[in-house]
């Protein structure tokens, strides 16, 4: 089994996620499913925004008069 770690949003301590353990060992608060500072979420948003802006620029190149 692979052990993943999650950071608690309240006390910022690292916790290993083993089975049904969904609470922080330090403060007892619920561990987040998706952490708001997760790098993958930011990269996924950047890729979507990049392609949307690139598509917009391409459409404007052909749409605007020369």
Report the SS3 class of residue 36: coil
Say what the pTM is: 0.53
The Cα–Cα gap between 5 and 32 comes to 11
Tell me the average pLDDT of the chain. 83
* Predicted local distance difference test score (pLDDT) of residue 19: 64
CA distances from 52 to 40, 46, 47, 64 (A): 18, 10, 9, 18
What local confidence, expressed as pLDDT, does residue 2 receive? 55
**CA distances in angstroms from 66 to 33, 45, 61, 62, listed in the order given:** 51, 33, 9, 9
pLDDT tens, 30-60?
888 777 777 788 899 999 999 999 999 999 9
- Is residue 55 packed enough to be buried (19+ CB in 10 Å), middle (13-18) or exposed (0-12)? exposed
pLDDT at res. 1: 47
């Amino acid at each position: 089994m692979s052990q993943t770690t999650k950071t608690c949003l309240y006390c910022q301590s690292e916790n290993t996620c083993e089975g049904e353990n969904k609470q922080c060992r330090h403060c007892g608060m619920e561990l987040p499913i998706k952490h708001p500072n997760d790098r993958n979420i930011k990269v996924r948003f950047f890729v979507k925004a990049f392609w949307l802006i690139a598509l917009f620029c391409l459409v404007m190149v052909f749409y605007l008069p020369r």
